[in-house]
Structure 1
Amino acid sequence: MSTPYVLILFYSRHGSVSEMAKYIARGVNSVNNIEAKVRQVPPVSEISEAIADPIPTDGAPYVTLDELTDCAGLALGSPSYFGAMAAPLKHFIDQTSTIWMTGGLIDKPACAFTSASSMHGGHEQCLQSMMTPLLHHGMIWAGLPYKHKALINTVTGGTPYGASHLATATRENTLSKDEISLCEAQGKRIAELALKLAN
């Protein structure tokens, strides 16, 4: 029997969300008997006929619908664009109606993570925009509890709705210690919940 996995699925334009995914994966992999599977979605082209190469030039492989269906838990990541998830991630989610009809994600835990370039750039609203379709899929939402001291002390990213990163123009990909801690905590929590719910 194959090892269960948490699918860490994201879209990252400038690298911040991709960097967060690495630390969430580290948190998942700190839990025994489950592993992280890191995947990304391809960009959406303004030209409707354009087709992305099947293998990205760098970073994680592109996700398949089967990888989403077969996951034990899901961590969804996107930059915040005007307080909502990025179009490429929404485009992928819009293709999951067959999974919804078969109930493939019901009772599996889910969480989300995001990055925004200003303190009030829509961190929490973006996380909620990713939560909504997952609730329609019957998934169980898992935020970050305040037992994590970094959530109280952070002056950068971090919310009880999920991990976030405050990106700046000068250091977009540099996560603070608190942000790293919260990403790892979120990965660990979703992995532990995935195992509990699977049993």
Structure 2
Amino acid sequence: MTRILVLYYSSYGHVRTLAQAEADGAHSVPGTHVDLRRVPETVPEEIRRKAGFIADDTLLATPADLETYDGIILGTPTMFGMMAGQMKSFLDQAGGLWARNALVGKVAAVFASTGSQHGGHEATLLSTQIPLQHFGMLIAGMPYTFAGQTTADGIIGGAPYGAGTIAGADGSRAPSRIDLAGARFQGAHVARIAARLAGANLKEAAA
């Protein structure tokens, strides 16, 4: 079985919704085991309540978990044009994996939610990929074989760098049908690549 981790942080639910679509897409590829996990919250509970953050009972991941997967898909809100601090804190704790080259050659992908079309959407997708490349991971985006991202009929999240959604300044816009289709496409895309690489590694080990 190819093992895929969809790991996310979500404040208001948009990224969590995309994460489920990513997991559904990965699970649609035969022979794929998928885990949906979130990173720990760092915002105090009082501030979470005042800000209206969602409650989330998805199981937590630890940095040590990353080593056990063939592919890792990260989801984050855009915070001032960058990934959320919660996701950055999680990755900052994975130095031991970096030191052992434990993630080298694994597949990685990123998806994001942003408040506005020009609020740092693509910057977040691209900059979140940087630490993954430091880990030696292979980046899978959302290629134009997903034709939904080329439409000009409405507000569309995502880019060739990864799936996504535009939540609106007040967070009232839910991920659209095309946004969710893009996330499912990306999840399946990562699972297929991971399966090919895992199969190649098994053949190499048996040789």
TM-score (norm 1): 0.89
Deviations 1:52-71 (A, max 9, x none): xxxxx633111022321111
The alpha-carbon deviation at position 198 of structure 1 amounts to 0.9
Give, as a single letter, the amino acid of the residue that structure 1 aligns with 2:177: K
Residues 79, 170 of structure 1: alpha-carbon distance in 2 compared, 3 angstrom cutoff: closer
Name the counterpart of 2:182.
182
* Cα distance in 2, alignment partners of residues 45 and 182 from structure 1: 30
* Cα distance in 1, alignment partners of residues 87 and 58 from structure 2: 15
Name the counterpart of 1:137.
135
Name the counterpart of 1:192.
192
The reply to whether residue 161 of structure 1 matches residue 177 of structure 2 is no
Deviations 1:24-51 (A, max 9, x none): 001000001112111101111469xxxx
For structure 2, the residue ranges without an aligned partner over 5 or more in a row are 46-54, 200-207
Give, as a single letter, the amino acid of the residue that structure 1 aligns with 2:77: P
Give, as a single letter, the amino acid of the residue that structure 2 aligns with 1:19: T
- Structure (1 or 2) with the larger CA radius of gyration: 2
Give, as a single letter, the amino acid of the residue that structure 1 aligns with 2:10: S
TM-score (norm 2): 0.86
Q: Contact conserved, 2:7 with 2:75, CA < 8 A, in 1?
A: yes
Alignment of 1:36-115 (within 5 A): 36-45=34-43, 58-115=56-113
* Cα distance in 2, alignment partners of residues 11 and 158 from structure 1: 17
The alpha-carbon deviation at position 170 of structure 1 amounts to 5.9
What SS does the aligned partner of 1:197 have?
helix
Percent of aligned positions that are identical: 35
Match of 2:146 among 141, 144, 148: 148
* Cα distance in 2, alignment partners of residues 23 and 71 from structure 1: 19
Give, as a single letter, the amino acid of the residue that structure 2 aligns with 1:62: L
Aligned residue pairs, count:
187
* Cα distance in 2, alignment partners of residues 153 and 124 from structure 1: 17
The alpha-carbon deviation at position 137 of structure 1 amounts to 0.3
Name the counterpart of 1:116.
114
Residues 126, 28 of structure 1: alpha-carbon distance in 2 compared, 3 angstrom cutoff: same
Q: Contact conserved, 2:149 with 2:156, CA < 8 A, in 1?
A: no
Name the counterpart of 1:171.
172
Residues 170, 127 of structure 1: alpha-carbon distance in 2 compared, 3 angstrom cutoff: closer
Higher helix residue share: 2
Name the counterpart of 1:52.
none
